[in-house]
């Protein structure tokens, strides 16, 4: 997707990803320009009247009782941006900031904000120039939207503050705008407020998390299947007729993926050999139930994201009949909740993957594998500490699963007395998703090694394809102890980049 055209009816998740991660160009549709001009006419008409209108001719938040005279209104709009650009802490990632600016542009183009067409065009120009405002980790309470992060973005439009150029160097925003022939905007009535009042940061991070989790949940089905195979488990529990009688869609999809990976394996079905097992452990047998519940949580989160993508979040808003009305649509609760739901699901998926890894390494539960999958146990420690690393990541996932949205802290002299903390929910979910990729990578590393140690039994064709691909990617197989961190990093890159899914799909067909 090389160009995204923004109209009045919102954008898609794919378009957000194309702009945020793919660097796609942004253009304004003719309908958007017309809607912007129409709404601006309504704002200018109200600005000329003696009656105060919130956001147009008054102060903001707890200071909304003051009527602002016409000669001070441009200063009012500049001041709200400058004063609200109060973020602190580390810089937020470039892709998050690009999503932030693009999603604010989406709302501006709806024609409900009263922003002039030239302001919207400047937002598009900044994105197309590869200029990324410096936004900081802390400053948003998720109500009224992501105020501080959006303020830092608006500051760049004004030619103030700092921004990162396309070369990755941070410079004064005014210099970057001038270097790309972009004139700073002179904000007028309502425009400063309209650039700040949205859920765009938390929504952008939700969309990117869903894209990443789509790959990671498929990857987790593959590694669960590999672990089942390495543990000589049974694939009978994956039969579609069993999952049809508990018809959760995600569970059925996960079981189908695992069954497809295991097709043709000589390692499954040996659970009655040696010391007979009636059933496999829960971490193996219940893998589809846990991963499936996470998938269904993702489906709900996608529904919320789609609704938010079709929304125009601002306060006040310009309605089609010409009224300008205050509202509470900037409250981030709908997005904050699903961000927290996903963090819970991610923690549980990481936890069950770690339990399977631990089982592979324990000679008392691995059904014939060497302790810690070591080459010469005692002399070699094998993957003992790889599991420690995985366990540390799981422990952090559990902390990150504590919901941010259950908290609220009052602000703005008790005018904004209940907030969503959605930005915080999004930030911790990003960390959780990163950790989940690493956890799956460790299970992949252990399971492929374990399968290769099962001499005399042929793994499934899909498993063989995974082993060949991961070895080609620089993840070494069984052998004496070596410096392990590079292997784990290579496995992480293999999972995170979607290569694990790509390795099996030529054999299994598309995973669900």
179, two tokens: 């270097």
The catalytic residues are: 54
Percentages (nearest 5) of helix, strand, coil residues in the chain: 55, 5, 35
CA-nearest of 130, 153, 129 to 201 is 153
Q: Which helix (H) or strand (E) holds 330?
A: none
Answer for the pair 55, 190: CB distance below 8 angstroms, yes or no: yes
Dist. CA 424–CA 411, nearest whole Å: 16
Dist. CA 321–CA 508, nearest whole Å: 55
Question: Within 13 Å of residue 378, how many CA atoms lie on the same side as its CB?
Answer: 0
CA-nearest of 166, 128, 177 to 4 is 128
Burial class (CB in 10 A: 0-12, 13-18, 19+), 45: exposed
Instruction: Please list, in sequence order, all residues whose beta carbon lies within 8 angstroms of the beta carbon of residue 392, skipping any fewer than 6 positions away.
Output: none
Answer for the pair 380, 480: CB distance below 8 angstroms, yes or no: yes
Instruction: Please list, in sequence order, all residues whose beta carbon lies within 8 angstroms of the beta carbon of residue 45, skipping any fewer than 6 positions away.
Output: none
Instruction: Name residue 324's beta-bridge partners.
Output: 318
Rounded to a whole number of angstroms, the distance between the first and last alpha carbons of the chain is 24
DSSP E strand stretches across 288-383: 317-318, 324-325
Answer for the pair 210, 13: CB distance below 8 angstroms, yes or no: yes
Please list, residue by residue across 389-413, b when 16 or more beta carbons sit within 10 angstroms of its beta carbon and e when fewer do. Answer: bbbebbebbeebbebbbeebeebbe
């Amino acid at each position: 997707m090389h160009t995204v055209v923004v109209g009045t009816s919102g954008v898609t998740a794919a378009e957000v990803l194309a702009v945020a991660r793919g660097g796609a160009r942004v253009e304004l549709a003719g309908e958007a320009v017309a809607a912007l001009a129409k709404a601006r006419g309504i704002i200018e008409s109200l600005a000329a009247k003696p009656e105060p209108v919130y956001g147009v001719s008054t102060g903001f938040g707890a200071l909304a009782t003051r009527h602002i005279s016409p000669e001070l209104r441009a200063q009012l709009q500049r001041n709200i941006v400058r004063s609200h650009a109060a973020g602190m802490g580390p810089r937020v990632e470039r892709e998050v900031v690009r999503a932030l600016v693009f999603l604010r542009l989406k709302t501006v183009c709806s024609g409900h904000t009263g922003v002039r067409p030239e302001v919207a065009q400047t937002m598009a120009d900044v994105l197309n120039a590869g200029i990324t405002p410096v936004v900081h980790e802390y400053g948003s309470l998720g109500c009224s939207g992501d105020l501080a992060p959006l303020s830092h973005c608006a500051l760049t439009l004004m030619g103030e503050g700092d921004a990162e150029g396309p070369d990755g160097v941070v410079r004064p925003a005014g210099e970057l705008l001038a270097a790309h022939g972009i004139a700073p905007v002179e904000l007028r009535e309502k425009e400063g407020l309209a650039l700040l009042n949205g859920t765009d940061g938390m929504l952008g991070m939700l969309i990117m998390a869903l894209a990443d989790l789509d790959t990671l949940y498929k990857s987790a089905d593959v590694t669960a299947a590999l672990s089942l195979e390495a543990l000589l488990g049974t694939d009978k529990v994956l039969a579609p007729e069993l999952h049809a009688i508990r018809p959760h869609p995600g569970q059925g999809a996960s079981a189908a993926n695992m069954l497809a990976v295991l097709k043709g394996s000589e390692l499954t079905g040996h659970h009655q050999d040696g010391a007979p097992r009636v059933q496999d452990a829960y971490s193996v047998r219940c893998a589809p139930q846990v991963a499936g519940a996470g998938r269904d949580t993702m489906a709900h989160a996608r529904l919320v994201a789609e609704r938010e993508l079709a929304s125009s979040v601002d306060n006040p808003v310009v309605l089609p009949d010409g009224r300008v009305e205050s509202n509470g649509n900037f409250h981030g609760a709908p997005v904050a909740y699903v961000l927290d739901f996903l963090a819970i699901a991610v923690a549980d998926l990481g936890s069950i993957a770690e339990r399977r890894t631990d089982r592979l390494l324990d000679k008392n539960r691995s059904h014939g594998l060497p302790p810690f999958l070591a080459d010469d146990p005692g002399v070699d420690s094998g993957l003992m500490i790889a599991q420690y690393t995985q366990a540390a990541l799981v422990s952090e996932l559990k902390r990150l699963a504590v919901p941010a949205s259950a908290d609220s802290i009052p602000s703005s002299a008790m005018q904004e007395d209940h907030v969503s903390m959605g930005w915080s929910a999004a930030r911790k979910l990003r960390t959780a998703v990163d950790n989940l990729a690493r956890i799956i990578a460790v299970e992949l590393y252990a399971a492929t090694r374990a399968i290769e140690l099962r001499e005399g039994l042929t793994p499934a064709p899909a498993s063989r394809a995974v082993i060949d691909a991961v070895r080609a990617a620089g993840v070494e197989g069984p052998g004496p102890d070596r410096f392990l961190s590079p292997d784990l990093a290579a496995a992480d890159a293999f999972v995170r980049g979607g290569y694990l899914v790509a390795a099996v799909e030529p054999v299994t067909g598309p995973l669900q």
